[in-house]
Copies of this chain bind each other. A is one copy, B any other.
Amino acid sequence: MAKVVIGVMGPGNEATTSDKEVAFKLGKLIAKEGWVLLTGGRNKGVMDAASEGAKSAGGLVIGILPTGDRSTFSQHLDIEIITEMKSARNNINVLSSNVVVACGMGAGTASEAAMAIKANKQIVLIDQDETSKKFFQKIGGHLVSFVNNPEDVIESIKKLL
A149 neighbours in B (Cβ, 8 Å): none
Contact of A3 with B79 in the complex, beta carbons under 8 Å: yes
Q: Which of B84, B110, B139 contacts A85 (CB 8 A)?
A: B84
A107 neighbours in B (Cβ, 8 Å): 114-115, 117-118, 139-140
Chain multiplicity (copies): 4
| A82-B110 contact, Cβ under 8 Å, with A131-B134, A132-B135 | no
Contact of B95 with A84 in the complex, beta carbons under 8 Å: yes
Q: Which of B80, B87, B91, B139 contacts A118 (CB 8 A)?
A: B87
Q: Which 9 pairs of residues, A with B, have the shortest CB-CB distance?
A: A135-B135, A111-B114, A110-B114, A107-B118, A107-B117, A82-B95, A88-B91, A84-B86, A88-B88
